Amino acid sequence: MSDAALLFRKNGYHATGLSEILSASGLPKGSLYHYFPDGKVGLAMAAADWTTTGLVRIIDDAFGPAPDYRAGATHYCYKLARLFDISAHIDACPISALLFDGPENMAFRTHAEALFQRLIDSIAAHARRFGMSDAQAQQAAETLLITVEGGWTLARARRKSDVMRSLPARLFPSHP
Residue 142 to residue 136: CA distance in whole angstroms: 10
Closest CA to 161 of 98, 90, 66, 55: 90
Q: C-alpha dihedral over 145, 146, 151, 157, to 10 degrees?
A: 120
Segment interacting with its own copies (CB under 8 A) among 20-28, 50-58, 68-76, 144-152: 144-152
| Contact between 148 and its own copies per CB under 8 A | yes
Which one, 26 or 88, has the nearer CB to its own copies?
88
| Contact between 45 and its own copies per CB under 8 A | no
> Contact with its own copies (CB under 8 A): which of 124, 151, 165, 168?
151
Residue 65 to residue 148: CA distance in whole angstroms: 20
Q: Write the DSSP symbol of residue 175.
A: P
Residue 35 to residue 18: CA distance in whole angstroms: 14
| Contact between 159 and its own copies per CB under 8 A | yes
- State the residues that interact with its own copies by CB under 8 A: 10-12, 14-15, 90, 92-93, 95-97, 99-101, 103-104, 109, 112-113, 116, 139, 142-143, 145-151, 153-154, 156-159, 163, 166-167, 169-170, 175
